[in-house]
Structure 1
Amino acid sequence: MSDILCITNRGLCREDFLSRMEKLAKAKPGGIILREKDLSPQEYLLLARQVMDICRTYEVSCILHTHTEVALSLGATALHLPLPLLVKLSPKERKSFSCLGVSCHSVEDALLAESLDCTYITAGHVFDTACKKGIPGRGLDFLREICQKISIPVYGLGGITPQNSKSVNKAGAAGICIMSSAMTCKEPEEYLKEFL
């Protein structure tokens, strides 16, 4: 995986969502996490099929989110889950995905995720972000501690910009996640280059 994962949020998107997906995939991030938690499984299935096709065209990993049954039915190889859903998966279900990620908010979460066959985690939120209004970021020390305690890749999440992304990497993270800016930036291809 490259060092940037783009997380989707249709509610923030200012243009046709699939057009935005095409622009993001063309920008070649390490992956696109299709995180549309408000959709029913059937609605998610229809959207996932289209986004997976776009990602396949640009050879970008499409990481489905939350809907394990949909991911299995589509033969998806990548899935990202909240921790409470991950712990409910059987070992066989976990092994169905060559890329299995989980959202972590503590060292304990991260250690559990690693023990449950995850191939990466997201850790956040690192910096203050509008998505978590009024809840202060956990900071770089939080991120550093997680990176030191586990051996799988950690992606920092929350309030990450081209200006502070290097500090996330210096804390030991394998990469970063972006959501709001991925959905709203003018030109995704140019924007992702700002993180280099």
Structure 2
Amino acid sequence: MKKRTEIINGSDILSVTNRKLCREKFLDRIEKIAEAHPAGIILREKDLSEEEYRNLAEQVLKICRKQETRCILHSFFDTALKLECDAIHLPLSILMNMDPEKRKQFRIMGASCHSGEDAVLAEKMGCTYITVGHIFETDCKKGLPGRGLEFLEQVCQKVSVPVYAIGGITGTAMEKIRRTGAAGACVMSGLMTCEDPKEYLEGFKE
């Protein structure tokens, strides 16, 4: 049985942002993705300072709340708390150094994992879901082979929280991904660049 989590919004696809891939204004793209109702939007703009990120996050949160789509902020947990956002996604290194009392303030907390050991540690530290990758070859990790479906299945068996595959995910691969026990998958470039996010997400449905 697939593990489910609160971030599900009629979809098992998490949108991961990268504004540099957009061919239009970033907030216009966010509006379109939010209207398409993925499981959530992870605002992952790693090149921004915390102040710059906060300014962007305020606008993205406003859009997501209007569309009733879950927005998950990334890395800057103090900013998330100030903006009254109860969902955060963290690199494992940040999660490990985070005050346990602050961890408890998030209803949804995810971590980026790259091994079964990472996944077990993230779960112990209170994560409500994890992402695991990269599963298939992707332009984001040029020259590095994907870890594959067997790796994904092994990670899913080690934890009880929902696992989302990341890295080179396409609609045609989703049936195989679901068979591993994963709760869903993360998509970045496809949703940042496609003509119609709603139609694009339809291609991932069971």
Q: Same fold (TM over 0.5)?
A: yes
- 1:183 and 1:124 mapped to 2: Cα distance? 19
Q: What pairs with 1:1-196 in structure 2 (closer than 5 Å)? A: 1=8, 2-196=11-205
C-alpha displacement of 1:72: 1.3
| Partners of 2:191 and 2:175 in 1: CA distance | 18
* DSSP 3-state at the match of 1:164: helix
Distance 2:131 2:102 in 1: 20
Percent identity over the alignment? Answer: 58
Shift of 1:184: 0.4
Residue 149 of structure 2 aligns with an amino acid whose one-letter code is L
Cα deviation, residue 69, structure 1: 1.5
The Cα of 1:30 is off from its aligned counterpart by 0.6
Structure 1: stretches of 5+ with no match in the other structure = none
Give me the whole-angstrom Cα distance separating, in 2, the residues matched to 1:150 and 1:61: 23
**The residue matched to 1:60 in structure 2 has which SS?**
coil
In the alignment, the residues of structure 1 paired with residue 175 and residue 193 of structure 2 have an alpha-carbon distance, to the nearest angstrom, of 22
State how far apart, in whole Å, the 2-side matches of 1:70 and 1:90 are.
14
Match of 2:4 in 1: none
CA–CA distance in structure 1, aligned partners of residues 195 and 170 of structure 2:
15
Give RMSD over aligned pairs.
0.6
Shift of 1:68: 1.2
Could you tell me how far 1:66 is from its partner in structure 2?
0.9
User: Whole-Å Cα distance in 2 between the matches of residues 109 and 45 of structure 1?
Assistant: 28
Matching residue's letter, 1:87? M
Greater than 2 Å deviation, 4+ residue runs: none
CA distance in 2, matches of 1:174, 1:164: 14
